[in-house]
Amino acid sequence: MDSAWIVAEAKKLGFDACGIACATALDEESSHVEQWLAEKHEGEMAYLTRNKEKRYDPRLLVEGTKSIISVLYNYFPKQTIGDGEHFKIAKYAYGADYHDVLKNKMRQLLDLIESQTGKLEGTRVFVDSAPVLDRAWAVRCGLGFIGKNTTLIHPKKGSFFFIGHLFLPIELAETGKTLSNHCGHCTKCLDACPTGALESPFHIDARKCISYLTIEYKGSLVGLDHNSFNGWMYGCDICQDVCPYNRFSLPNLEPLFQPSDSLKAMRENDWKNLTKADFDTLFKHSAVQRAGFEGLKRNIEFISED
């Protein structure tokens, strides 16, 4: 099967980048993860310590996997929600849950591939929902490099992308090449992080990260500096917003990623008086469901402290 044809079809479907790599063990990448876990920087994200062997070798996760196709899908918005100062939501959560949107598009790509190969047994689609080292495979597929803020950066398109993977039981020619880091001497992301989560280049302590604290962390925020959250109530984009590569970011064209009029209309008092019914209406099919109503209320109350 022609790898170039697959990449071309992926771009026709609207993916911003596509690459292919052979399924092998991620030995070098796994050593970095093990060191990070040994330092307990994952916080309460216990799922990162489970099924590690499968995370480090895709052939153990899906038996028979020979090739991995990685894709990028833009989520950069046309406009930001709110006044830019308070009650901010990470850009990736403005619209419908990306897991569902991206999986559906990737299944379309799989259908196209199977129209050429016939039905393939043992195929899997993954979007941030299984023990897969997403960024590592995107790098292997030549789609970008890991920045000092630990995000995947496409050198011509920035970092506001979702990553998805197709595991296939067929051998495909690899595309692209692994890119070396292109951050140079820039430290804007480290300098801008208000909680010091980016302790050094390429190293993040999740326990200090606003995204982790407002989404994954379920405990009390009492004792933390609410001013350091800079008005973020769900996630945080600071280290991406300041990245020079994101000057190349263009508004996404996915209708399902556009924020609803109701969400765009929310103001300070609306957020402070948010009810469960409001939450369900605003975020029925949203990634914000991961925090839940109680979690979002906790965050709102915390950043609203005088």
Quick: pLDDT tens for 268-291.
999 999 999 999 999 999 999 999
The residue among 153, 168, 183 that closes a domain is 168
Domain assignment present for 12? yes
Domain assignment present for 191? no
Domain assignment present for 65? yes
Same domain, 265 and 148: no
Looking at residue 176, what is its pLDDT? 81
What is the pLDDT averaged over residues 75-80? 95
Catalytic residues: 128
Same domain, 146 and 263: no
Same domain, 122 and 209: no
Instruction: Report the percentage of the chain scoring pLDDT > 70.
Output: 99
Same domain, 292 and 245: yes
Which two structure tokens, joined as six digits, stand for 203?
Answer: 């190293």
Domain count, the chain: 2
CA atoms within 13 A on the CB side of 172: 29
User: Over the stretch 79-98, which tens digit does the pLDDT of each residue have?
Assistant: 998 766 789 999 999 999 99
Query: Within its chain, how far is the Cα of 275 from the centroid?
Result: 28
* 133, 55 contact by CB (below 8 A): yes
The residue among 147, 168, 189 that closes a domain is 168
Same domain, 96 and 207: no
Q: Which domain holds residue 7?
A: 3-78+92-168
Same domain, 124 and 271: no
What predicted TM-score, i.e. pTM, was given to this entire model? 0.95
Domain assignment present for 178? no
Which two structure tokens, joined as six digits, stand for 63?
Answer: 């038996």
With tokens 């099967």, the residue in question is 1
Looking at residue 84, what is its pLDDT? 67
Domain assignment present for 185? no
